[in-house]
């Protein structure tokens, strides 16, 4: 049987993730688009689209007829890790499924800190029954969201639904119902003074790298009902200075952290984060990319692009997200 390559091939270029589930879904949704796994197809002129997660550097530059790159994640820092990235459009994941998963994670972790989950788990481990009637109302707590994009906006709305006060910070000015919005360098100070629990849903870009450092923690309010603030980072590990987080926890600049992402993943078995009593760790599991939700809209975009229609959810290469 000869393959119908009229529509062009897809290159599936992943590192760190198994290609099997993606291959299976692509085969189901786009049988007319054969899939090539790198490195076999590294210079194949019949490849028109690349679907990538942390693709190997210089791989895509060798494809003479590449029309667009599809990131398997909402974040695209992994795509920009390639210094020889060709000048074709980059499409990122914007999906109700991914957004819902992230908002579940944010609500789970915010509620866990708000309802003293870490404390009760420690009490359980030591068989301590201490009722502590000092539970606060959600309305007494302000959750500050760093990043008011697709994920941050949905998380903000859901946290409001749970009764929390919500503030948010973005690069550009926003108006969101019931959310105190701050923007840019001028807005950062008042934003940091506004919150008790901070949720980070920023992309990793040259501007945001290492933004979560000691100087930022020092600007967060210590006068709220939780005393020192709580930090929840579900954005990227490159946003955080990990030595500064540990020092801030030990000095009381932060009262607790939840980290889903790390500078180095997987987190090293020697990391002091594993055993720190004020640290909750999840293994980059806040919002998984799921083939059954993501491949169909991706292939629809390839078909639309082949018909001459515009791609959506494009990455701004200059801004880096």
Residues marked active site are found at: 236, 284
Using rule CB under 6 A, residue 235 touches ligand NDP: yes
Instruction: Please choose which of ligand NDP, ligand OXD, none residue 200 contacts, taking the beta carbon within 5 to 8 angstroms, the exact cut-off set by kind.
Output: none
Instruction: Please choose which of ligand NDP, ligand OXD, none residue 166 contacts, taking the beta carbon within 5 to 8 angstroms, the exact cut-off set by kind.
Output: none
Q: Which of 55, 109, 194, 205 contacts ligand NDP by CB under 6 A?
A: 205
Using rule CB under 6 A, residue 75 touches ligand NDP: yes
Residues interacting with ligand OXD, by CB under 6 A? 73-75, 93, 289
CB of 253 to ligand NDP, least distance (A): 21
User: Which of 95, 94, 68, 63 has the alpha carbon at shortest distance from 79?
Assistant: 68
3-state SS string for 215-250: HHHHHCCCCECCECCEEEECCCHHHECHHHHHHHHH
CB of 60 to ligand NDP, least distance (A): 20
- Mark residues 79-98: x for contact with ligand NDP by CB under 6 A, - for none: -------------------x
Using rule CB under 6 A, residue 171 touches ligand NDP: yes
Instruction: Please choose which of ligand OXD, ligand NDP, none residue 170 contacts, taking the beta carbon within 5 to 8 angstroms, the exact cut-off set by kind.
Output: ligand NDP
Whose Cβ is closer to ligand NDP: residue 10's or residue 74's?
Answer: 74
Residues 174, 158: contact at Cβ < 8 Å? no
d(CA 54, CA 15): 6
């Amino acid at each position: 049987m000869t393959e119908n390559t009229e529509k062009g091939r897809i290159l599936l270029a992943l590192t760190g993730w198994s290609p099997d589930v993606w291959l299976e879904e692509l085969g189901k949704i786009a049988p007319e688009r054969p899939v090539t796994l790198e490195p076999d197809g590294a210079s194949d002129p019949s490849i028109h689209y690349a679907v990538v997660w942390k693709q190997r550097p210089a791989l895509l530059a060798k494809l003479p007829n590449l029309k667009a790159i599809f990131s398997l994640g909402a974040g695209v820092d992994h795509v920009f890790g390639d210094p020889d990235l060709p000048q074709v459009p980059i499409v990122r994941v914007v999906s109700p499924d991914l957004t819902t998963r992230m908002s579940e994670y944010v609500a789970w972790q915010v509620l866990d800190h708000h309802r003293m989950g870490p404390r009760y788990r420690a009490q359980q481990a030591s068989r301590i029954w201490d009722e502590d009637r000092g539970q606060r109302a959600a309305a007494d707590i302000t959750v500050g969201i760093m990043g008011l994009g697709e994920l941050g906006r949905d998380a903000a709305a859901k946290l409001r639904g749970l009764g929390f006060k919500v503030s948010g910070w973005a690069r550009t000015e926003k108006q969101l119902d019931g959310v105190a919005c701050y923007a840019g360098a001028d807005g950062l100070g008042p934003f940091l003074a506004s919150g008790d629990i901070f949720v980070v849903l920023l992309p990793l870009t040259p501007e945001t790298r290492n933004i979560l450092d000691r100087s930022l923690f020092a600007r967060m309010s210590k006068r709220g009902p939780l005393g020192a603030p709580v930090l929840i980072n579900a954005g990227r590990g490159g946003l955080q200075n990990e030595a500064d987080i540990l020092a801030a926890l030990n000095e009381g600049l932060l009262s607790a952290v939840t980290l889903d992402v790390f500078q180095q993943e997987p987190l090293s078995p020697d990391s002091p984060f594993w055993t720190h009593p004020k640290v909750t760790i999840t293994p980059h599991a806040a919002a998984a990319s799921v083939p059954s939700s993501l491949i169909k809209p991706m292939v629809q975009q390839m078909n639309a692009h082949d018909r001459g229609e515009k791609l959506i959810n494009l990455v701004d290469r200059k801004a880096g997200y």
